[in-house]
Amino acid sequence: MSRIPLVPEITEPLPSIRESEGLLAWVASIDHKQIGIMYLIATLFFFLVGGIEALLMRIQLVRPENDFISPEVFNQLFTMHGTTMIFFVVMPFLIGIGVYLVPLMIGARDMAFPRLNALSYWLFVLGGLLLYFSFFTQSGAPDVGWFAYTPLSEKPFTLNKGPTYWVLGLLATGIGSVASGLNNIVTIITLRTPGLTMRRLPLFVWMILVTSFLLIFVMPIITSAFAMLLLDRLLGATFFMPATGGSAILYQHFFWGFGHPEVYILILPAFGIISEVIPVFSRKPIYGYEFVAGSTVAIGLLSLGVWAHHMFAVGLGNVFNAFFAIASMLIAIPTGIKVLNWTATMWGGKIHFATPMLFAVTFLIEFVVGGLSGVAIASPPIDWQATDTYFIVAHFHYTLFGGSLFAIFAGVYYWFPKMSGRMPSERLGKWHFWLTVIGFNLTFLVQHLLGLMGMPRRVYTYHDLPYWGDMNLISTVGSLILGLSVIVFVWNIIASLRSGIPAGNNPWNAWTLEWATTSPPPVHNFDLVPPVHGRRPLWDLAHPDMPDK
Amino acid sequence: MDKLGGVFNASSPEMEAMVDLTLFIIIVAVAILGIITIAITYILIRYRRRSADTAEPRQDFGSTKVEIVWTVIPALIVGVFFFSTIKTMYAVNPPFGDREPDLVIIGHQWWWELFYPKSGVRTANEVHIPIGKKLLVRLNSVDVIHDFWVPELGPKIDLVPGHTNHIWLSASKPGVYLGACAEFCGVQHANMRIRVIAETQEDFDKWQEEHRKIPPTPTTGEAALGAKLFQEKACTNCHLTGVGPDLTHLSSRQTLAAGALENTPSNLVKWLKNPEKYKPSSYMPNMKLTDVEVNAIVAYLEALK
């Protein structure tokens, strides 16, 4: 009996976007790995732009009464530098590397909602373009600070179109961020490979999960504040205009209600990177897994109730300030637990100083500097001196640059072989590392002193007061070294992509699932996901005689 | 060696209390940083990988006891920090009850309006206070948010439109204390400086007495022409209405344009000829005055004492 096929045999493959080569394969992609890499490329671009903005500011401040750039341009530069580095570099980098790694780390084929994933990415790009389009308007880019306090950012005081583009750009990326948050949560909860329970989840994925909850809790706060500001600016509403019955302070509550959790959105995934890198290069499991994961949840929850420590100088009263002081100081406890656990992970290990580990170890010390100065300024009487001075600039660069960005560099060097299939150059990596460490500390260490000596932030010029010129000169020299380090970094990426040594599946001898597949991984990620019986599936495979508990 | 400002030169009881707390917390913080740095450095040296050694080290997963210890210790430190914070907060910022303010400061883009309600003295950008007295200051803003900050004398406080703030201001020794607006307030935020001139009670009384009187309008020479021009050239539209700083006793002040320039007749000439050069985008317009007019107005303003 002959069989009659109901569907004719396919003789030619169906047209597929994945088979097309070149730009379209990327632009039209819904593959999480391609989208992840596109995030990294776009953030590298914005990183270079934001870095140039910073260098221009440092050149202006190199000596007292300098007139390299006008006050208008200076104010645009610090507004754009802050906005760019926060919303278009650190945040999308961490979201992007999460998008690349989360499915691989949990043994999934892709994110739960691949199209939503692409939408998030393109909204972020759209936001960046809207923001930077403002440079082409007649009055230039926004010049009201990355915080855009009302009423200064309201129409009567800032007629420029800048702040309007700023709001629109951040609204677009913000919507994308909420979508990423939802996508991550659903992916992590529903797509884990069998055996990968929540208690076995890689710590990086834990941190992404907590970050994603923060994203969906706090982005709506700033989105509504932006909507109100937009109504004020475009339709003559008066939400934040005191002269016509609005409240200037209300905006600050909205802004920091988002803005402080935001700094944990910028640091928690970085903690995740550190929690992956330090164990692998110490050849030991993370010390106190439950406490590292648990303290992340604690930080996430506490971060929702500390926003007004940005407002100690607003004059809201001793009782109000005391509440936010203690809430902020409490965050030091779970953060301290993490630092000690990372340190204990290295104890008794066999530490391999490859570039990712160099950045991770330096992260530890620099983040502690930023964390400790953070505890100090959580105390209102200290903040009454320090706030709005260079002390704060130093503080948050130690957390955001010495912290987040050092972790990002560690992550780039660590996962570069997985993404590209080639090893990054160790020699250039070490050059990059040392130039970054020296440049960073030269730039920002003296700024603590400048702040304590009374130099306010956001000033385009300053008088020749004792030592101000010297310290600003040191800071500018440091920033130029940082500029050089970035050139080495970019050169390393380009050179290693072209001619790096082939990496193989698992060059670092690591233990999480992304290292079980090829480098770079195939479109479907895994031919076969290894069985998961513990937190380190590849350790268990390699050491069947002594598997993890 | 030049004298360092800011926290290195605390000059009021409030600031001394704040510096004590700052020093205490910074010393503890530096000690913690030192311990962690030494520990990490030791670990990095002691446990670095030797090239020949490829065996995996002992796998250690943690200890609940250790975790409890290093949760409790930071908690205790935070407790001590919080306790000393509260003590200092109430020492620096005690409630003011229903006391009337001794000084009212109103923020403008980009200068400070000053008013002493008890004597009726009105001036700008330079606060005079008697030493050894706690003055209650009331602060407000007519446009955007500013922030009053004289580092050596104590806390900074915002000047918020639609929200009145109070702060205690005092100085324990005579001197000139430099300060600035600390909240970004627009293009000329950098040139919104303030200074506090602390002097003995007698000197302060003398200053106040002089400033209470309105100086006579000059009737002869260049100054008389200046007085006429001051009316005709629309200077009064701003400088007598509170839109721009009050100039009644300008020649007794140390600086021009909220600290942008030192107050000398030649600087005043330069300023009047081209304000854009010294304080770009400020609201002081270039009135396109001729040299004769500028000199006359400067002579008039210099005569006002």
Over the stretch B77-127, which tens digit does the pLDDT of each residue have? 999 999 999 999 999 999 998 999 999 999 999 999 999 999 999 999 999
Q: Is B31 on the interface with A (CB under 8 A)?
A: no
In a domain, A15, yes or no: no
pLDDT in tens, A176-195: 999 999 999 999 999 999 99
B161-A304-A163-A61 Cα dihedral, nearest 10 degrees: 90
- Arithmetic mean of pLDDT, B178-194: 96
Residue with tokens 């834990």: A206
Euclidean distance between CA atoms B219 and B230, whole angstroms = 14
Q: Are A212 and A185 in contact (CB under 8 A)?
A: yes
Q: Is A351 on the interface with B (CB under 8 A)?
A: yes
Nearest to A480 by CA among A59, A80, A45: A59
Whether B59 and A548 lie within 8 Å, measured CB to CB:
yes
Q: Among partner residues A249, A284, A325, which is closest to B60 by beta-carbon distance? A: A284
Q: Among partner residues A285, A336, A456, which is closest to B70 by beta-carbon distance? A: A336
Whether B62 and A322 lie within 8 Å, measured CB to CB:
no
pLDDT in tens, A348-363: 999 999 999 999 999 9
Q: Is B37 on the interface with A (CB under 8 A)?
A: yes
Whether B187 and A72 lie within 8 Å, measured CB to CB:
yes
Euclidean distance between CA atoms A65 and A61, whole angstroms = 8
In one letter, which amino acid is A155? K
Euclidean distance between CA atoms B153 and B171, whole angstroms = 6
In a domain, A22, yes or no: no
Which ipTM did the prediction report? 0.96
Whether A346 and B40 lie within 8 Å, measured CB to CB:
yes
Q: Where in the sequence is the domain holding A284, given as residue range(s)?
A: 30-542
Whether A282 and B47 lie within 8 Å, measured CB to CB:
yes
- The secondary element (H helix, E strand) that includes residue A468 is helix A468-499
In a domain, A494, yes or no: yes
Mean pLDDT, rounded, of chain A: 95
Q: What is the CATH number of the domain that holds A208?
A: 1.20.210.10
Q: Among partner residues A247, A284, A463, which is closest to B59 by beta-carbon distance? A: A284
Residues 377-396 of chain A with CB under 8 A from chain B are 379-382, 384-385, 387-389
Window from A88-102, A129-143, A403-417, B137-151 with minimum mean pLDDT: A129-143
Whether B92 and A289 lie within 8 Å, measured CB to CB:
no
Euclidean distance between CA atoms A427 and A300, whole angstroms = 38
Counting residues of chain B whose pLDDT is more than 90, the rounded percentage is 90
Tokens linked to B150: 């004289």
Which residues are CB-contacts of A344 (< 8 A; sequence separation ≥ 6)? A287, A288, B62, B66
Q: Is B100 on the interface with A (CB under 8 A)?
A: no
pLDDT number for residue A1:
47
| CA distances in angstroms from B304 to A35, B113, B217, B248, listed in the order given | 70, 19, 8, 6
pLDDT number for residue B53:
75
- Arithmetic mean of pLDDT, A273-296: 97
Count: domains in chain A: 1
Residues 152-171 of chain B with CB under 8 A from chain A are 152, 154-158, 160-163, 165-167
B257-B258-B259-B261 Cα dihedral, nearest 10 degrees: 0
Q: Among partner residues B58, B67, B162, which is closest to A291 by beta-carbon distance? A: B67
Set of chain A residues whose Cβ sits within 8 Å of the Cβ of B274: none
Window from A94-98, A113-117, A335-339, B51-55 with minimum mean pLDDT: B51-55
- Strand-by-strand arrangement of the B146-149 sheet: B126-130, B193-199, B175-181, B146-149, B157-159
Q: Are A285 and B61 in contact (CB under 8 A)?
A: yes
Whether B92 and A381 lie within 8 Å, measured CB to CB:
yes
Query: Per DSSP, what are the bridge partners of residue B177?
Result: B196
pLDDT in tens, B26-75: 999 999 999 999 999 999 999 999 887 788 999 999 999 999 999 999 99
pLDDT number for residue A536:
96
Which residues are CB-contacts of B139 (< 8 A; sequence separation ≥ 6)? A315, B104, B105, B106, B107, B148, B157, B158, B159, B164, B165, B166, B167
Q: Are B179 and B194 in contact (CB under 8 A)?
A: yes
In a domain, A19, yes or no: no
Q: Are A384 and A310 in contact (CB under 8 A)?
A: no
For residue A9, what pLDDT band results from cuts at 50, 70 and 90?
low
Q: Is B57 on the interface with A (CB under 8 A)?
A: yes
Euclidean distance between CA atoms A304 and A299, whole angstroms = 9
- Arithmetic mean of pLDDT, A132-155: 93
Set of chain A residues whose Cβ sits within 8 Å of the Cβ of B259: 463
Q: Among partner residues A326, A369, A454, which is closest to B151 by beta-carbon distance? A: A454
Residue with tokens 């992007």: A96
Residue with tokens 């000033």: A459
In a domain, A450, yes or no: yes
Whether A452 and B163 lie within 8 Å, measured CB to CB:
no
Kindly tell me if the per-residue pLDDT of A12 is higher than 80: no
In a domain, A6, yes or no: no
- Arithmetic mean of pLDDT, B216-227: 91
pLDDT number for residue A545:
87
- Arithmetic mean of pLDDT, A209-216: 98
pLDDT number for residue B5:
86
CA distance A325 to chain B (A): 8
Euclidean distance between CA atoms A293 and A198, whole angstroms = 10
For residue A547, what pLDDT band results from cuts at 50, 70 and 90?
confident
Kindly tell me if the per-residue pLDDT of A411 is higher than 90: yes
pLDDT number for residue A3:
58
Q: Which of A459, A465, A539 to mutate to test the interface with B (most CBs of B within 10 A)?
A: A459
Residues 180-239 of chain B with CB under 8 A from chain A are 180-191
User: How many residues are listed for chain B in this entry?
Assistant: 305
Kindly tell me if the per-residue pLDDT of A4 is higher than 70: no
Kindly tell me if the per-residue pLDDT of A13 is higher than 70: no
- Arithmetic mean of pLDDT, A124-150: 94
- Arithmetic mean of pLDDT, A419-435: 97
In a domain, A8, yes or no: no
For residue A7, what pLDDT band results from cuts at 50, 70 and 90?
low
For residue B304, what pLDDT band results from cuts at 50, 70 and 90?
confident
Euclidean distance between CA atoms A107 and A528, whole angstroms = 9
Q: b/e for B37-69, b at 16 or more Cβ within 10 A?
A: eeebeebeeebebeeeeeeebebeebeeeebee
pLDDT number for residue A67:
93
In a domain, A16, yes or no: no
Q: Among partner residues B36, B44, B187, which is closest to A351 by beta-carbon distance? A: B44
Q: Is B52 on the interface with A (CB under 8 A)?
A: no
In one letter, which amino acid is A484? L
Euclidean distance between CA atoms A212 and A265, whole angstroms = 8
Whether B281 and A339 lie within 8 Å, measured CB to CB:
no
CA distance A388 to chain B (A): 6
Counting one residue from A and one from B, how many pairs have CB atoms under 8 Å apart?
273
Residue with tokens 């001036």: B123
